[in-house]
Amino acid sequence: MNPKLDLVLERTIDVKPELVWKAWTTPEYLMKWFTPAPWKTVECKVDLRPGGMFHTVMESPEGQKFPNTGCFLEVVTNRKLVWTDALEPGYRPTARKLGTDAPFFMTAVVTIEPHGAIGTKYTATAIHGTEDGRGKHEAMGFYHGWGAALDQLVALAKTM
Amino acid sequence: MNPKLDLVLERTIDVKPELVWKAWTTPEYLMKWFTPAPWKTVECKVDLRPGGMFHTVMESPEGQKFPNTGCFLEVVTNRKLVWTDALEPGYRPTARKLGTDAPFFMTAVVTIEPHGAIGTKYTATAIHGTEDGRGKHEAMGFYHGWGAALDQLVALAKTM
């Protein structure tokens, strides 16, 4: 973790690691929590293996769609999930140009550790290539956004 | 494999897969074959795990140095090696801007399959994000360069 380049959300939540994993890796669940309301996630594809596709489409309250396609890098069941949008599926370097088509690229590392009898220590790290990328992501509302999405994940997991 | 975006070198060589792997993953060996003469590889660092560093410095006959730092993605002993320069070690998106600092990014997939009693079917695929990137890499001499380097690898392996 490099504080000049990375953003980190760390929380303990009263949900089992297995349910956090299921919420992250099952499209029908992910679509219910991944994007803070009133935004929605309207599409999701998960090919859960290194090199596999992670695709989402977010929709603004005005109906504008924001597709994002990335590539999984590490898949450790119930413990760790890593993906990046600097690569497309099959590890292909992303065609979008940084600073023109894409405000920044990031790699996300989600770690899920057992905490107490039924809880999870949840850590989500967004890794950027530049301080500018980190700054733009923070200005877009990283802490609020990822935190609100996690609240939604916890609420959903309690119904699963 | 996408013929519009990828470049492939495929050959059968009379060297065991274990020696091909050793030549690829041991810096002292890699420095002896990786760059077609009269160019040289003057530095090499290998942290052989997904997320680990793959660093080389090539030197032209005039003494100009060309450093390249990438990240390993898959490490399957004696069979498959994948790395990319679109990510830095730790999966950090590369800070260099495509089209300005970097002519293209690529992911390299090297597969090493046993062939006959003592041979190897060797396949090296360079995966690009754009046709422009593929074209630049081909114009830089992909086929001749990777082929000449493989000849050097084979010659070296026969002394190992």
What is the complex's ipTM, to 2 decimals?
A: 0.94
Residue B99 has pLDDT above 90, yes or no: no
Residue B110 has pLDDT above 90, yes or no: yes
Q: Provide, as residue numbers in chain B, all residues whose Cβ is less than 8 Å from the Cβ of A73.
A: 50-51, 73, 91
Contact B105 A127 (CB under 8 A): no
Q: Is residue A1 part of a domain?
A: no
Q: Is residue A98 part of a domain?
A: yes
Q: Provide, as residue numbers in chain B, all residues whose Cβ is less than 8 Å from the Cβ of A51.
A: 73-74, 82
Q: What is the pLDDT of residue B97?
A: 80
pTM of this structure: 0.95
Q: Residue A99, Cβ neighbours under 10 Å: how many? A: 15
Q: Is residue A23 part of a domain?
A: yes
Size of interface A-B (CB pairs under 8 A): 81
Domain interval for residue A47: 6-157
Contact A84 B93 (CB under 8 A): yes
List pLDDT tens digits, range B75-92.
999 999 999 999 999 999
CATH assignment of the domain containing B146: 3.30.530.20
Q: What is the pLDDT of residue A26?
A: 98
Q: What is the pLDDT of residue B102?
A: 82
Residue B127 has pLDDT above 80, yes or no: yes
**Tokens encoding A101:** 């088509």
Question: Per-residue DSSP letters for A100-128?
Answer: TTBS--EEEEEEEEEETTTEEEEEEEEEE
Q: Is residue B103 part of a domain?
A: yes
Q: What is the pLDDT of residue B98?
A: 77
Q: What is the pLDDT of residue A99?
A: 73
Alpha-helix runs per DSSP H in chain A: 17-25, 27-33, 131-139, 142-157
List pLDDT tens digits, range B12-51.
999 999 999 999 999 999 999 999 999 999 999 999 999 9
pLDDT band at B131 (very low <50, low <70, confident <90, very high): very high
Mutate to test the interface with B, among A107, A131, A134 (most CBs of B within 10 A): A107
Q: What is the pLDDT of residue A102?
A: 81
Q: Is residue B1 part of a domain?
A: no
Residue B1 has pLDDT above 90, yes or no: no
Cα separations in angstroms, A131 against A4, A105, A123, B33, B93: 6, 12, 21, 37, 12
Q: Is residue A14 part of a domain?
A: yes
Q: What is the pLDDT of residue A103?
A: 86
Q: Provide, as residue numbers in chain A, all residues whose Cβ is less than 8 Å from the Cβ of B107.
A: 87, 91-93
> What is the SS3 assignment for B109?
strand
Hunting for tokens 């990328």 — which residue is that?
A: A133
pLDDT band at B136 (very low <50, low <70, confident <90, very high): very high
Q: Is residue B100 part of a domain?
A: yes
Distance from CA of B139 to the nearest CA of A (A): 19
Contact B93 A51 (CB under 8 A): no
Q: Is residue A95 part of a domain?
A: yes
> What is the SS3 assignment for B153?
helix
Q: What is the pLDDT of residue A96?
A: 83
Number of domain units in chain B: 1
Per-residue pLDDT of chain A (160 residues; tens, 9 = 90+): 899 999 999 999 999 999 999 999 999 999 999 999 999 999 999 999 999 999 999 999 999 999 999 999 999 999 999 999 999 999 999 998 777 778 899 999 999 999 999 999 999 999 999 999 999 999 999 999 999 999 999 999 999 9
